[in-house]
Structure 1
């Protein structure tokens, strides 16, 4: 396995974590700058404990990191994990683009038209 590739378990954790709108917002905020868990919790209409649970899910997925700063727990985003997940999605997009190109080629053979002729219609 290439070091840059994600395991199936990592992919599952990342995309399950990102499936929730609150967690996506926490990731976005933490990528822009560090925030204490208390600062994060102020923005949401839920308990502090609920926000802590969201943060724990994101931390397990590797999307954020927590560290202690005085008496606070500070959250920061991990752009490397986002980059790796984005790379995975890019590979899926390449597969589908290749398939669409192949379908276009088959349609052109069947109808006897070129790409330029189809695009002019």
Structure 2
């Protein structure tokens, strides 16, 4: 599985997702069922899911972050994501990795999330 790589300036980049894989959209929808308990928006639209990598054996590797490193559910949220994705038809296994590089920012939210939270 790929990890976030670094560019020449040393800034962490987000690894690309397997957007062409037939399971990708279903996995995104499953991620949209998981919510940060402190924010009434799903974690996908918040921009907390950095990468969804799906290999040829339908093994899913999710790289995600939190709104803040001290988030009270930091230890639980990766399990919530795995529990949402693993039962999907065709998914062989799920591995959820937590990262804080790059650090999450409000600019990573979707327009829907910004609208929901009153930022638009």
Considering the TM-score relative to the shorter chain, is it more than 0.5? no
Identify the structure with the greater helix proportion. 1
- Structure showing greater radius of gyration is 1
TM-score tier, shorter chain, comes to under 0.3
